[in-house]
Structure 1
Amino acid sequence: MRKIFLTLIGLLTLTMVSCTDDLDTEPKVELTLEQILEDDPNAIEGIVSRLYASFALSGPNGPGSSDISDDPGESPFLRGIINLQDFTADGMKNRWGDDGLDQLTTTSDWDANNKFFRYLYNRAYYTIPQCNNLISILNTSTDIPDAAEALSEARFLRSLAYFYLIDTFGKGVLATEENLGQTDPLPEATRRQLFDYVESELLEIQPTMAPNNGYGRANKFTAAMLLAKLYMNAEVYIGESRYDAAVTYLNQVIDEGGYRLADNFLENFSGDNDRSPEIIFPLLADAVNSQSFGNTTYIVNGNLSSDTMTLSDFGAAEGWQGHRATEAWYGLFGDLSTSTDTRAELFWTDGHNYTMTDYKEWTDGYPSIKFRNTDFFNPTNLTTSFSSTDFPLYRLADANLMYAECAIRGAAGADLSKARDLVNDVRERANASTITISELTLDFIIDERARELNLEGHRRTDLIRFGRFTGGSYVWPWKGNVQNGASIPEYYNLFPIPEQAISANPNLEQNTGY
């Protein structure tokens, strides 16, 4: 079924103009969505699959195609999440020296012309109008099979795209099915307005979504995770503590979702991770049916090198010599050679230096071998240029640690004993020592989130929520373009609105500081 789902991605080409070029959201297709569904009402599954694919693929016709007028290799949504969430933070650095990528990896010299900011902004405003088109039709259709569930999924995916805009840029425009096709520039929407909109959408659809909608598709617990993420960061986004509300939805995921921690950590990051019982919502990848330079191919190949590694051990045909972890990540495990924590084994140390003296030097820092393209359950010697490892955007270990953080912060309805047990479940799986309630502190949780979740697209957001991203109270290698780290200004908690977006819409104002 996973292969069938991925194959459906290629059935439809719904190309749309990038939001930075034109706010007109009419799709450029040979047939309108109405005509497609009139000809074949069952095409809805392929259309919905195409919406999911917009988070991992660059375009419908292979890795060289692009839905938008940005580089198909550099601009996919998931690649943007990794670039902006992980490389801007403490755990991972890139060495390629691309214009714009250097500024991300050193958390310095950010400006509105950096193409990597534009890529994520464009991808969000490609996905949102796509969802709007389908939502508009489904709102008025009565004879399309499974229309209600497809409508909820489209609204979830639109909310997910808006969530990343809230988190990274803090504002934008509110494009919905209500203003679909409007040619005049939309007014600027504040962070609060976007937050309220996403919250209202999720609160409406979450209770009615299917509890199990099939692997790779959103269900009521996926929507609960997004709500919990929104509420966890509400103090940052809207200046209000909403940890109580986060606990409500985390309890649903943990107690009712039917998920359990995988027996082995690596089950979540291997080529057959669709068998993991822990993954709540993945972004799908397949070496044949959904090739992309922007899904987990970017992570797997980017951390490998044929000079010092046997690529087939990781199921890869290519090693790009791009990404290495810093001691801010692997240093959290203490001495890697003596640590019993199995997560400490997932760094390649042979031929590499512990200290990242030069972030452009491949041998400085340890590549992460957390993600790989080999199957966990039935290992083979098959190697491919593209990855078949799905990206676990949401998984149960994250929910466990989120619950514990809420409990420490005093959220109503959260129990410290339950929090301790949930954290110890995560640590026992990794063969790490268990902790007591007295050891369950915010300092511990932010470090445990790094040990468990780094390179999964959460780190920058986590550091901002803990007040550790900007300023100088916490520094890491190459923060502020200084080897040992330096203070960076508070306005770096948001990225600049891309200059092309501001040029296209005079209603947008640049974020403070840029």
Structure 2
Amino acid sequence: MRKFKIASVGVLLMSIFACTSELDTQPKVEVSLEQLLNQDPNAIEGIMSKLYGSFALSGPNGAGSSDITDDPGESPFLRGIINLEEFTADGMKNRWGDDGLDQLTTASNWDENNKFFRYLYNRVYYTVPQCNNLLGILPNISISNQEQVVSEVRFLRSLAYFYMIDCFGKGVLLTEANNGQTSPAPQVSREELFNFVESELLAIENTLPQTNSYGRANKAVGRMLLAKLYLNAEVYTGTPRYNEALTFIKKVIDEGGYSLDPNFVHVFSGDNNTSSEIIYPLIADALSSQSFGNTTYIVNGSMGTETMNIGTFGCTEGWSGHRATKAWYSLFGDLNTTNDQRASLFWTTGHTYEMTDYKQWTNGYPSTKFRNSNFNSSSSPTQFSGTDFPLFRLADAYLIYAECVVRGATGGTMAEATNYVNLLRQRVNADVITQSQLTLGFIIDERGRELMFEGHRRTDLIRFGRFTGGTYLWPWKGNTLNGAAIPSTYNLFPIPLTALQANPNLTQNPGY
């Protein structure tokens, strides 16, 4: 199956998984999850699609539905990743400014009341309990591939917790052992969350399948998340784990069976489900999985009818919101003379190089990296995007390998690291580099050229010591045109006020 479809079981699952008071008091189906699976073991497929879909969709009944009480258009998980990982960093800015978005795009005036922090926090603690609910009853039923299903659910729970570790640094640790618990859970530290996710991913490494249906976790997917956890371990725990990151990323590269897509643009087009490079996608479909929070947000938000022919990119709507800053496109040098094909993925006509006013659509260049049009065949424009989001892809694995080696990890070579980077550069016709040119400074810039707008940038800048402070400035950092220093406390987001009010065991992050 190319796409998981949430259809006939959607309403049923909504009643089973619901966590809002309204749904708790008005169940649509009087049947427990355990009873459902005992009656129909095949229902596990719909339940699993629901869990996977929680990272891209807002709810089970289309773009206007929501699993949680937050706005269905603004609150989906992937939209939160883009808002918090990209707009808070150097390369991308949004001009809408609605009720807290300005604070993200200028990295200023962050506080516990910003709804965009709440949205991601709430999505983590929607997905985690749903995973726990299923894990709690799976030992009591019999389904096909039971061990694999358990492993996939544990992966999804780990993925949700990864964003809690990265964005908020602490929280509560809920597992199936907490099912039915009514008292507020105790707060756990960043290191405790890290240790839990590490132990989970290690435990399921050999029980995840070598291959799986498109969009579902396999061994390479679990190993990729583990490598990313270790890559950022020094930030998360104070102890570098680059050796372990290299060990697991080598397994992804050597054993995963993935290969670089011959064409960079195909990886971000409407038919990217056929790409050999994508290790783990968040699936979108223009008809069967519509959402304002999957790649529809990225694609439509980057289109503007005032200056662009949006139909060329498969769109019927342009929201005139997202534009790149020179901190991204200046990484390519002169856009008119560079050979790097990635530099051509900016719309420059009618737009200015400088972003003197981030609220003006024509200030800065919109990115056309993501588009809704097919690469290998014709396609018609649609309101919603059918382009899958490549959360993990092989190019990132190559760059992780290179970074670990440059940082001194054992088990790899500088020659191989340089080769992996040059494979990426040769694909886009960029000049190859020598081994002596492969430095940490080059790697953070190459990660920007290759991976910007894919939900990594803030994390990358923090790991390289370039996010807070004044060493590295970008347009509108600290709410000033040319950038200003921001406090080190901004390496974490504030715990939302609603979470603090709901659980007296939680404490606010320092500085807020």
What TM-score, normalized by structure 1, do the two folds share?
A: 0.97
* SS of the residue 2:391 aligns to: strand
Q: Does 1:323 align with 2:340?
A: no
Change (3 A) 1:285 1:193: same
3-state SS in 2 of match to 1:350 = coil
For the 8 Å contact 2:186–2:505, the answer to whether it is kept is yes
Counterpart pick for 1:495 among 490, 493, 496 = 493
Q: Does the 8 Å CA contact 1:191/1:237 hold for their aligned counterparts?
A: yes
Native 8 Å contact 1:463 1:469 kept in 2: yes
Counterpart Cα distance in 1 of 2:9 and 2:261:
28
Instruction: Find the counterpart in structure 2 of residue 359 from structure 1.
Output: 358
- Mapped pair 1:300 → 2:299: yes
| In structure 2, distance between residues paired with 1:243 and 1:28 | 49
Deviations 1:19-78 (A, max 9, x none): xx99x9xx9964221121022101111101100000000000000000000000000000
Is the CA contact 2:6–2:46 (under 8 Å) kept in the aligned structure 1?
A: no
31-40 or 290-299: bigger deviation: 31-40
Calculate the aligned-residue CA RMSD, in Å. 1.5
- Residue 457 (1) aligns with residue 455 (2): yes
Cα deviation 1:307-352 (Å, max 9, x = unaligned): 2211210100000000000000000001101111000000000000
8 Å contact from structure 1 (residues 91, 328) kept in 2? yes
Pair 356,39 (structure 1): closer, same or farther in 2 beyond 3 Å: same
Give the aligned residue type for 2:470: G
Aligned equivalents of 2:426 and 2:313: distance in 1? 25
Unaligned runs of 5+ in 2: none
How far apart, in 1, do the equivalents of 2:7 and 2:303 lie?
28
The C-alpha deviation readout for 1:134-192, integer Å capped at 9, x for no partner, is: 11111333x21221111111000000000000000000000100111100000001101
Give, in whole Å, the separation in 2 of the partners of 1:92 and 1:162: 25
SS in structure 2 of the partner of residue 101 of structure 1: helix
Q: Distance in 2 between matches of 1:67 and 1:493?
A: 29
Quick one: structure 1 residues 180 and 319, their matched pair in 2 at CA, closer, same or farther if it must change by over 3 Å? same
Count of aligned pairs: 507
1:388 to 382, 386, 389: 386
Residue 217 (1) aligns with residue 216 (2): yes
Q: Alignment partner of 2:485: what SS?
A: coil
Helix, strand or coil at the partner of 1:392: strand
Are residues 1:269 and 2:271 paired? no
Distance (Å, rounded) in 1 between the aligned partners of 2:9 and 2:365: 36
Q: 1:334-388 deviations in whole A, cap 9, x for unaligned? A: 11011110000000000000000000000000000000000111023x1111000
Q: Distance in 2 between matches of 1:228 and 1:207?
A: 15
Aligned ranges for residues 28-67 of structure 1 at < 5 Å?
30-67=30-67
Kept after mapping to 1: 8 A contact 2:147/2:207: no
Distance 1:93 1:30, change over 3 A: farther
TM-score w.r.t. length of structure 2: 0.97
8 Å contact from structure 1 (residues 477, 483) kept in 2? yes
- Structure 1: how far apart are the matches of 2:7 and 2:221? 23
Could you tell me which residue of structure 2 aligns to residue 428 of structure 1? 426
Distance in 1, matches of 2:80 and 2:442, equals 28
Q: What SS is found at the alignment partner of 1:93? A: strand
Q: Is the 8 A contact 1:63 1:73 kept in 2?
A: yes
Residue 3 of structure 1 deviates from its aligned partner by: 3.7
Alignment of 1:131-146 (within 5 A): 131-141=131-141, 143-146=142-145
Change (3 A) 1:339 1:48: same
User: What letter is aligned with 1:336?
Assistant: L
Alignment of 1:201-216 (within 5 A): 201-216=200-215
Query: Shift of the alpha carbon at 1:97?
Result: 1.5
Query: 2:191 maps to what in 1?
Result: 192
User: d(CA) in 1 for partners of 2:195 and 2:392?
Assistant: 22
Distance change >3 Å, CA 468–CA 28, structure 1 → 2: farther
The corresponding residue for 2:127 is 127
Match of 1:159 in 2: 158
Equivalent positions of 1:162-181 (< 5 A) are: 162-181=161-180
1:40 maps to amino acid: D
- Is the Cα–Cα contact under 8 Å of residues 15 and 29 in structure 1 kept in the other structure? no
- Cα distance in 1 for partners of 2:211, 2:417 equals 26
Distance 1:163 1:309 in 2: 37
Match of 1:290 in 2: 289
Taking only the aligned residue pairs, the percentage that are identical comes to: 66
CA shift at 1:239, angstroms?
0.3
Q: Is the 8 A contact 1:8 1:50 kept in 2?
A: no
Distance in 1 of aligned mates of 2:387 and 2:216: 16
Q: Does structure 1 conserve the Cα–Cα contact (< 8 Å) formed by 2:92 and 2:324?
A: yes
Query: What whole-Å deviation, never above 9, does each CA across 1:207-247 have from its counterpart, x for those lacking one?
Result: 22101111100001000000000000000000001000001
- Structure 1 gap ranges (5+): none
Question: 2: CA distance between counterparts of 1:498 and 1:70?
Answer: 13
**SS of aligned partner of 2:192:** helix
Q: Report how far residue 252 of structure 1 moved.
A: 0.6
What is the identity, as a one-letter code, of the residue corresponding to 1:441?
T
Work out whether residues 91 and 328 of structure 2, in 8 Å CA contact, stay in contact via their aligned partners in 1: yes
